[in-house]
Amino acid sequence: MNEIIFSELLKIFLVSLIILTTVIISRRNLTSLINIYALHSFILALIALTFFFYDGALTFLYAAILTVASKSILIPKLLKKSQKNMQIYTDIEYRYLKPVSSIFLSLLIFVCGFFIFYRIKDFLGLNQLYYLGVVFGFSLVMIGFMIIFSRKKIITKILGYLVMENGVVLLSFFVGEMPLLIEMMVLMDLLVLVAITSILAFGMKSSMEEFHAKLNPFKNWFKWREIK
Amino acid sequence: MANSFLFPCAVVLLSLSIILPLIFVKIKKPIFRKISLLSIILACVVLITLSAGVFINETANFNIFILGMNFSLLIDNLAAFFIFIISLVGLCVAIYSFSYTEHFDNCIKRNMLISIMSFFILSMIFVVISHNLVSFLFFWELMSISSFLLIMFDYEKEGTKKAGIFYFAMTQLSTLFLIISFVIIYNHTGTLDFSKISELSPILTSLLFILLTIGFCTKAGIIPFHKWLPYAHPASPSSISALMSGLMIKIAIYGLIRFIFLFSFQELWWGILILVLGTISALLGVIYALKEHNLKRLLAYHSIENIGIIFIGIGLYMIFSYYNLPNIALVALFAGLFHTLNHALFKSLLFLTSGSVVNSTHTKNIEEMGGLVKKMPYTAILFLIGAISISALPPFNGFVSELMIFQIFFKSNAISSPIINLILLISMSLFALTSALAAACFVKAFGIVFLAAPRSKEAKEAKEADLSMLIGPAILAILCIILGIFSYQIFSFIGNKAGIIFDLPNLLWISLAGIVILIITVLIVKIISNKNSRVGETWGCGINKQNSRMEYTASGFSEPIVTIFSTIFQTKKVNKKEYYDSDKVIFKEGHAKISLIKFFEEYLYLPELKLINKISEKLYKIQNEIELDPYILYIFLTILILLIIIGVVIK
Amino acid sequence: MIDFFLYAALNIILVIALAPLYISVIKKVKAYYQGRKGPRLFQTYYNLFKLFSKERVYSTNSSFIMRVSPYVNIICSILAILFIPLLFIPNNTLGFENIILFLYILAIGKFFISLSGLDAASTFGGMGSSREMSISSIVEPVVIMIFAAFVFVFKSFNFFDIFRQTSLNLDHISLWLLLIPLVIVLLTEVARIPIDNPETHLELTMIHEAMILEQSGSDLALIEMSSAIKQLLWIGIIINIFIPFGFDLLLSISGLFIGFVSFFIKSILIAIGIGVIESYLTKYRLFRLPNLFAIAFFLALITIMMEVLL
């Protein structure tokens, strides 16, 4: 693959990643949030594919397939199931940050990341393009953090954590030596998290009624402050 | 040669107009006032010729010795440019004042107004041509004092006293900073002349730069030193507001540019500081203007915005000249200076026409005006020309200076540092936001004041202004149009002389093309469309007689923007309802309020005011005793301390 | 000199003749999504002719602004046509060059129409004016940022040079990221969903339509024509920067014909795309529009930073 096409494609994908993240931080409709997260992970897989076509290393191909299978298909399905059970559709309330302020704050974070990594660019041994990737990964992590503390419903907080993990994986593509290993560790982390959420949400199939009765009071944890 | 003759001529004419009303101060007949106004007009014409002469030929140099102090005066290109601005605006204000002064009740007041006004103009001219620390300070003080007297003109009204004292305090603050910096300069160079300033050390120059900037910013009305502007402009008579806003604020700009030229080098953070101050003033000025319903206070906030734009131009000049890109830097400087001229023209135009409006309707609140376009059509057209110029719409002059600044911003990738690039990009987007919001604000101002139906009895009975109150602004309006349409030709001429390339579009061609298309369109539409038209009542949703309560109000017009920028205004909406019953069905009464805080007043000015009050109360107690004993105690203590000090110091 | 006049005449005739067609295309696409057949493709032309033959009614409260502003608006739109080459690029531009001048000429029209909204002393007119001026102020930084990106990348101030460069090479693929802010700006300037609904009849949901409620007859026809022209101009900008195939750089009959056909096909495709966007989205609440513009601004700023600072 051509050098120019590689860098241009990578730039397009990185910018779309960060824009999707800012969309996550300001949208309210939960279904669309989960869909955007699926798109987010898909673009991450596309980045891995681009690395595969340019470098030829097989690890990137496996990482891409793993990401698509787990983060674009499996996890959103689980999240949608639990969301449908809980019957919450929107996440209206914001805490500490209004949507427009959060977008400008994410811009500020990006700019700060840009200049901080400018100085240690040579220490890390990055060329221009990889330095961009590191900045975007870092901003993704910080914006994920912002999503966690500024939204109130748990599902959105989980999505913020998932976005953070995506940012870590992105960083690993550009800086780390074994992206596949990191990808798999992160994946196990997330799978456990989402599994626990789903179990708490709708219990095991066997004794549905018992679990329902037992977990009924815990339902309020997920509908945090929706009923005032 | 002719220059040295013209200047004393103008000074003599202006002094005549100062002295003449003072002598005949008790006479009611307007003949002496008219003579003095005529002499102001003549003096201004002479000064315009003088400045044109200086541009073409050479500079003029004078030295005056009075009371043993050497006032050295020099008219070079920069000074001639500012003299040109001062005399243009002074000319039109003088024409306007022919009938405006007759509206004051007291004949003493009328005479004094003209006398102090000419004194003000004279002092501003002398500030601009000073070439000496002493003369600069002396005439600066004269300018401040005469403007203070002019603001306190309607001293019987209650808001005026607060405005006047606030203004006086702020202007003395600026003079204080100037005096401190001048003392430092004198200590380190040993002379009072401007020429030795370039030999100072870098640290000292930075310190001087900060002090001078604070001093000039206070006078120019940059945020956060701007608070006196919105009080002073509504309180003073309209012709004086035009002079102050159009000219006096620019003298601060002149001071800043003069001292920047005198320093021999520049640091980067100076340019960035001026750019940031300019951007913040521009944005906050226009945002605060959007919520104002006092016509003159609205125009005062727009002055703050335009001074911010001039500062942006000067800041760009400093940044680009630090990076050794003199072509782009000079274009930035010319953009800032051209915006100075433009702002003087259209702001005076707006203030003079709003003076006519306020005179006819006897109110400054725009929520009580309306429908004036039918009663005062010429004033309406002049105000419209001013509004189009200030909103930076082509082909008038406001557009040209903003276009030049945009082009400089677009060339910013010639600078290699990414941080500076980023700052310039963000500053550019805030500047774009400012000019768009200014257009929105003037749609509101022109629309609510002149269009639609009258909202009060006075607005229904308003009469057109007198002839001289139309001719003065008309000259300014014609100049606005000419400077806009012929901008390409003017700047090609200047560019040829100075060796700079301005990349301006040829607005003359475009206006001509527009007129041709207009004629063709009107012809086509007349041929293919129905010729009839009739006049009917506006649809009022079924109510038979439409009254003025149904049209949109000014607060309603600005409400979307006030809500969008609610973090800046700290908008608080309070909505309380009381019901007769517990089920909240039968409504009793309600209370709704939208309140905006005055951010700078509450958080910046008032705490310092309270602190100063506390300190002065304590000091007051020391000195206010009527008895004799405390003073003798103070003298005794002083002598004791002096003895101890002498005893310790002498070996 | 002569090729500029030829270019001017061709451009103006092309745009004025084609502009109402796109409004009908978008209406047909929306109708198709709603399961209807929709109006005929030439319906907008018939509407305009009908409006020209009606008489004009002016309010008792209105002034010269009401009579003058439709003409100012249409002249500004026609002048703006001369800035955007659609079929071929002439060598001599005769002063119609500057990007910022293009933007501000459109702003004059908006200024006068907003004034005429306030002129008739009706409540809805004032509401439309206030909302329109607020929204167009907020979208201004986004537009300037997009134009700054164009100027930085293509190193020129006028659309003629920019189109000449894009039609020669496709080096800057990452400029495709600017498509999203440009589409958002297009939707704002022509008042389409999700910013404003052009087919609503509820006054409280109108932004642009409310300002022109009081206009009638040939005035209303001129204003509708002017919106159609603006829409075609922004579509033209999108086409010429992102998919510039078939552009004619040398003046020849066959070249002009190919240019016309390719322009027509591309612009119809973009109009269909606008119709699809309008059918899939709903109109946003007025105070949620700053979110949308902030995201567009963020995108444009990051694109510039990446393009220029590397």
Q: Do C306 and A5 touch (CB under 8 A)?
A: no
Domain-located, residue B415: yes
SS3 A151: strand
Mean pLDDT of B496-502: 80
The angle at the Cα of C227, spanning C222 to C231, to the nearest 5 degrees, equals: 145
Name the residue among A98, A101, A115 with its Cβ closest to that of B419: A115
Contact present, C128 and C204 (Cβ < 8 Å): no
Share of chain C above pLDDT 70, in %: 95
pLDDT score for A171: 85
Residue of C nearest to A108 (CA): C298
Domain boundary among B501, B526, B551: B526
Share of chain A above pLDDT 90, in %: 7
Name the minimum distance, in Å, from the CA of B545 to any CA of chain C.
Answer: 12
Contact present, C267 and C232 (Cβ < 8 Å): yes
Distances (CA, A) of A170 to A44, A64, B303: 7, 12, 50
**Of the candidate ranges A23-32, A84-93, A110-119, B533-542, the one whose mean pLDDT is the lowest:** A84-93
Name the residue among C172, C180, C291 with its Cβ closest to that of A103: C291
pLDDT score for A98: 81
Q: Per-residue confidence at C72, pLDDT binned at 50, 70, 90?
A: very high
Q: Does the pLDDT at position C232 exceed 90?
A: yes
Give the model confidence (pLDDT) of B428-474 as tens digits: 999 999 999 999 999 999 999 998 888 888 888 888 888 888 998 99
Domain-located, residue B350: yes
Domain-located, residue B626: yes
How many residues are given for chain A?
228
The sign of the torsion formed by the CA atoms of B208, B211, B216, B221 equals positive
Give the model confidence (pLDDT) of B305-343 as tens digits: 999 999 999 999 999 989 888 888 889 999 999 999 999
Q: Per-residue confidence at B31, pLDDT binned at 50, 70, 90?
A: confident
Q: Does the pLDDT at position A63 exceed 90?
A: no
For chain C, say whether B619 makes contact (Cβ under 8 Å): no
Q: Do A99 and C173 touch (CB under 8 A)?
A: no
For chain C, say whether A106 makes contact (Cβ under 8 Å): yes
Q: Does the pLDDT at position B216 exceed 90?
A: yes
Give the model confidence (pLDDT) of B585-621 as tens digits: 888 888 887 777 677 776 777 788 888 888 888 888 7
Contacts of B422 in chain A (CB under 8 A): 111
**Of the candidate ranges B53-62, B195-204, B427-436, the one whose mean pLDDT is the lowest:** B53-62
The answer to whether residues B283 and B401 belong to one domain is: yes
Question: What is the spatial distance between Cα C226 and Cα C231, in angstroms, rounded to a whole number?
Answer: 9
Number of domains observed in the structure of chain B: 2
Mean pLDDT of A200-225: 57
For chain C, say whether B92 makes contact (Cβ under 8 Å): no
Which of A111, A112, A117, A121 is best to mutate for the B interface (most B CBs within 10 A)? A111
Domain boundaries of chain C, sorted by first residue = 2-309
Contacts of C108 in chain B (CB under 8 A): 388, 393-394
Task: Decide which of C166 and B418 is more confident.
Answer: B418
Q: What is the DSSP letter of B198?
A: G
Q: Per-residue confidence at B58, pLDDT binned at 50, 70, 90?
A: low
Name the minimum distance, in Å, from the CA of A100 to any CA of chain B.
Answer: 10
* Structure tokens given for A77: 């399905």
Distances (CA, A) of C211 to B563, C112, C188, C208, C264: 21, 11, 15, 6, 31
pLDDT score for C141: 92
Name the residue among A5, A11, A104 with its Cβ closest to that of C306: A11
Residue of A nearest to B420 (CA): A115
Q: Do C63 and B409 touch (CB under 8 A)?
A: no
Distances (CA, A) of B128 to A13, B84, B256: 58, 11, 12
Burial of C38 (0-12, 13-18, 19+ CB in 10 A): middle
Domain-located, residue B492: yes
For chain C, say whether A1 makes contact (Cβ under 8 Å): no
Q: Does the pLDDT at position B64 exceed 70?
A: no
- Strand (E) positions, B482-606? 533-536, 572-579, 587-595
Contact present, B235 and B296 (Cβ < 8 Å): no
Contact present, A76 and A38 (Cβ < 8 Å): yes
Neighboring chains of B (3 or more beta-carbon pairs < 8 A): A, C
Give the model confidence (pLDDT) of C266-300 as tens digits: 999 999 999 999 999 888 888 889 989 999 999 99
Q: Per-residue confidence at C309, pLDDT binned at 50, 70, 90?
A: low
pLDDT score for C167: 62
Q: Per-residue confidence at A204, pLDDT binned at 50, 70, 90?
A: very low
pLDDT score for C248: 66
Domain-located, residue B40: no
Neighboring chains of C (3 or more beta-carbon pairs < 8 A): A, B
* Structure tokens given for C194: 């999700």
pLDDT score for A207: 44
- Nearest Cα neighbor of B73 from B10, B118, B157 is B10
Domain boundary among B472, B493, B526: B526
Residue of B nearest to C78 (CA): B517
Share of chain A above pLDDT 70, in %: 82
Contacts of B419 in chain A (CB under 8 A): 115
Share of chain B above pLDDT 70, in %: 96
Q: Does the pLDDT at position C228 exceed 60?
A: yes
pLDDT score for B310: 95
Domain-located, residue B410: yes
Domain boundary among B465, B499, B526: B526
The torsion defined by the Cα of B166, B171, B176 and B179, in degrees rounded to 10, comes to -170
Q: Do B422 and A101 touch (CB under 8 A)?
A: no
Share of chain B above pLDDT 90, in %: 33
For chain A, say whether C304 makes contact (Cβ under 8 Å): no
Q: Does the pLDDT at position C142 exceed 90?
A: yes
Give the model confidence (pLDDT) of C73-103 as tens digits: 999 999 999 888 888 777 777 777 788 999 9
The angle at the Cα of B230, spanning B228 to B232, to the nearest 5 degrees, equals: 60
Q: What is the pTM of this model?
A: 0.89
pLDDT score for A117: 82
Q: Residue A61 carries which side chain, given as an amino acid letter?
A: L
For chain C, say whether B540 makes contact (Cβ under 8 Å): yes
Give the model confidence (pLDDT) of B219-263 as tens digits: 988 888 888 888 888 888 888 999 999 899 999 999 999 988 888
Residue B629, domain extent: 612-649
- Nearest Cα neighbor of B135 from B181, B182, B167 is B182
Q: Does the pLDDT at position C110 exceed 90?
A: yes
